[in-house]
Structure 1
């Protein structure tokens, strides 16, 4: 049984323009690559079409599917890409009704079996981790689905049903490395965000699954709220493979909590330094984990940048939406990171439930007071699997337009605010942060610190200027 995975792109978040995110930030679809590697390990023929790296019209994509003659087409979709994935599935079914269509990913896992009642082109859903479930589906020829844990399906009466939950993989080291070789043009077609790495080619790695924290805006429907991780030895073999086979010189550990398990991080840093593996990296950390010993370990093992989810500069908003930390401590800890010789990126949100203009302005002023090299500001998006989703309408107006739910559209408007007000504050946030001499000087230094980013920037300058004018930054 041949399996073809499709990674739909989803709608362009700024209609009428080239999606600038596909110029400067294209990461390999690691979830698909992990499932594909597991299937290949068990002699299942697998192919992948990644619509981010290889954009195709719907008709071109359907023609490509028919040319490859798969038995199964499997989609991994976010909320914003789900409807596009369904349209592709409908077109495939119209061309060849014998092809089985399977959907997985965050949206399928959150919405569950009721999706099958609304979208007849989808044959079944993979709920939760997909490696073993997909293998058992293929081995069973997509028969007797009720006996396979982790599946939503239609019963003999055509009614949506769901099998028993799939147990989580206890030892992630049992999984083979992601099947990067199935991506045409890897790694050249893939790149980390602009100015987020000192060297190229680069790539991303996920070395853990799950998160024990209870932030209101996070959807944990795929990997749950536990915390499982690869061993330091496995991670280093993974990095070494990427360097040896693909020439990768920098990786981004895209884990939500790379630094959560202190012993794992310390052992990884010590082993990497001892090996002399010449690959730098970025990671995401929580401020609660930061101390001088950890920073020394990270820097000594080649860490180049640390990203922190700060989200808001308003204490009351933080108390409502995530574990509260003392705002007075944040600046001190970020300065410790910079003093250790690493770059610092802050992650913020605008439009959280309970926010008003005063709260957002406090966040803007707070962000400008911090020793940050760069920021990423997202527009709050209430995903269906997030705890806040259940009580959302108590705090504002919500337009549940799935294709717009990509963190770059204001689909939720807090009480007392307007969409235009949020857009203006968002643009002001970006403009005030980046139009400062300190930030300009920092990017000037990137000529030496990240020369490939400078070349990418100059090559795409017309698109950047058009984008900036459209955004009114």
Structure 2
């Protein structure tokens, strides 16, 4: 018997889904991300209860398979992740848990719950607890107490009443939490974008991003930058490399280099320890410089992911990016000059976007020439300033959450541009960027192994599959 069974729900639409650390959506190229959030919960409760992680997403389990596993495990708690576009699908985990044993306490968490927890609790009679923030400490508390009453950070069901028990005070010292229980995951199942080696792992060295991008889920999760001590980070990297034989790591921080001195310190420690790791990270255009990028490269970083969002300075200003196209060009140039691969993230369909500004973004992407370019449809997720604006101005065309995903047909229509135009511009962006001899030749010349070849071929066919998908309109 396992006391706490942590579940990543099965994948809808025959596509792998990301339901972690505020990221939500479907994998474009068949990548499968380790469930960081559940691994963090497991690490921080395993000293007070027995725990197991079942990844129905990575294992391609169906709902019947998961139900059988719940019955076999006979847990007291079933704790599962979710995302906005899969929330209705994910809540089936609560239903089948109660069908197996009505006394199981069903629990879920995440940005969608933080914003719409009361709505979800009313809609799903099988859900007992919605954790609205600080899930590691919140879940640990009610498991230790064996009682969910009066636990901050939760919404609970008590007979016919839904009770909101308030917000938990955020943990300022991220280092007080244990690092993820990587050893409870089957790490060989996972495939990450840009990875050079296998198996892979994902972690975070900090939480939060003070940036003001008004479409971003950090408005729900955490705006305050909360770092882990560098020594704590190094301990985890050493454990992955030396104990689990994992040498490819995704640093999943919102902005790894927000504190540039701290990032430099971590790089210097990796070099001093001579850790055999390669890694990728996300960061902001305005939080890097040549010295830091050079040190990152020397410490094993091979790819840096940068949010560009638009190639128009007025659009960048209006969406709260607080960067300019000149800064963006400089950042990509610096990264390339030290030998780092670059991944650029672009968005189409911002408020105030037009066909002209969207084409400007596509052309800007081609000018920057990152090794990888991701073109996403702007999606107003609940809880973000963009959602509030879209709701107030009557731009939302549906509240069918299954459509709220950046690779699907737009769910809102800002003034001046139709959804059909946004959709066609997204497809145009991918075709103009990737399906051309120059880009294909560039990728071929960068191949260093059969693994690289397999990754790029898989990504290419994933792209073709995505572009072939029909428009998905609201119910």
Does the TM-score normalized on the shorter chain lie above 0.5? yes
- Structure 1 stretch 233-242 or stretch 2-11: which is displaced more? 2-11
Q: CA deviation at 1:92?
A: 2.4
Q: Name the structure 1 match of 2:100.
A: 95
The match for 1:350 is 348
Q: Assess if the C-alpha contact under 8 Å between 1:129 and 1:222 holds in 2.
A: no
The answer to whether structure 1 residue 172 and structure 2 residue 174 are counterparts is yes
Q: Measure, in 1, the Cα distance between the counterparts of 2:191 and 2:203.
A: 13
1:180-235 CA-to-partner distances (Å, cap 9, x unmatched) read 2222xx22111112xx1222222221111111112111123663211111122111
CA distance 1:86–1:461, change in 2 (3 Å):
closer
After superposition, the C-alpha distances for 1:427-473 in whole angstroms (9 at most, x for unaligned) are 1101111134442222102321x531313455x5995586267259x
5 Å matches for 1:30-109? 30-42=36-48, 44-109=49-114
Structure-2 residue corresponding to 1:424 = 424
**Matches of residues 52-451 of structure 1 in structure 2 within 5 Å?**
52-143=57-148, 145=149, 147-155=150-158, 158-183=160-185, 186-193=186-193, 196-220=194-218, 223-393=221-391, 394=393, 396-409=395-408, 410-448=410-448, 450-451=449-450
Aligned pair count reads 459
Unaligned runs of 5+ in 1: none
In the alignment, the residues of structure 2 paired with residue 136 and residue 218 of structure 1 have an alpha-carbon distance, to the nearest angstrom, of 29
- SS at 1:330's partner residue? helix
User: Would the alpha carbon gap of residues 463 and 429 (structure 1) be closer, same or farther in structure 2, given more than 3 Å must change?
Assistant: closer
Q: Deviations over 1:308-359 (max 9, x none)?
A: 0000112222112123322123223211110111111100111222222112
Counterpart-to-counterpart distance in 1, 2:398 and 2:351:
14
Post-superposition offset of 1:13: 7.8
**SS across alignment from 1:215:** coil
Change (3 A) 1:23 1:293: closer
Report the TM-score when normalising by structure 2.
Answer: 0.90
Q: Which residue of 1 aligns with 2:19?
A: none
Bigger shift: 399-408 or 251-260? Answer: 399-408
CA positional deviation for 1:237: 1.4
Question: Following the alignment from structure 2 to structure 1, what is the Cα–Cα distance between the partners of residues 420 and 47?
Answer: 51
For residues 461 and 367 of structure 1, the distance between their equivalents in structure 2, rounded to whole angstroms, comes to 19
CA 1:465–1:385: 2 relative to 1, 3 Å: closer
Residues 198 and 451 in structure 1, CA contact (< 8 A), matched pair in contact too: no
Superimposed CA distance per residue, residues 378-411 of structure 1 (whole angstroms, 9 cap, x where no aligned partner): 1211111111111204273432221222221122
1:139 positional shift: 2.0
Shift in CA distance, 349/50, structure 1 to aligned 2, threshold 3 Å: same
Moved more, 294-303 or 272-281: 294-303
SS in 1 for 2:91: helix
CA gap of 1:402–1:469, structure 2 versus 1, over 3 A, is closer
SS state at 2:34 partner:
coil
Whether the 8 Å CA contact 2:32–2:190 is kept in 1: the answer is: yes
Distance 2:467 2:167 in 1: 49
TM-score by length of 1: 0.91
In the alignment, the residues of structure 2 paired with residue 105 and residue 464 of structure 1 have an alpha-carbon distance, to the nearest angstrom, of 27
Root-mean-square deviation (CA), in Å? 2.4
The answer on 1:11 being equivalent to 2:9 is no
- Distance verdict in 2 for CA 1:310–1:51, change over 3 Å: same
Change (3 A) 1:165 1:464: closer
Q: CA deviation at 1:32?
A: 0.8
Task: After superposition, give the CA deviation of every residue in 1:106-148 in whole Å (9 maximum; x if it has no partner).
Answer: 11111133422222111111110111111111122235x1x21
Assess if the C-alpha contact under 8 Å between 1:397 and 1:415 holds in 2. no
Structure 1 CA distance for aligned equivalents of residues 144 and 463 of structure 2: 52
Give unpaired runs (5+ residues) of structure 2: 17-24, 471-475
Within 2, Cα distance between the matches of 1:138 and 1:180?
A: 21
CA distance in 2, matches of 1:46, 1:301: 34
Which among 8, 27, 33 is matched to residue 27 of structure 1? Answer: 33
Q: Report if the CA contact (8 A) 1:114-1:160 is conserved.
A: no
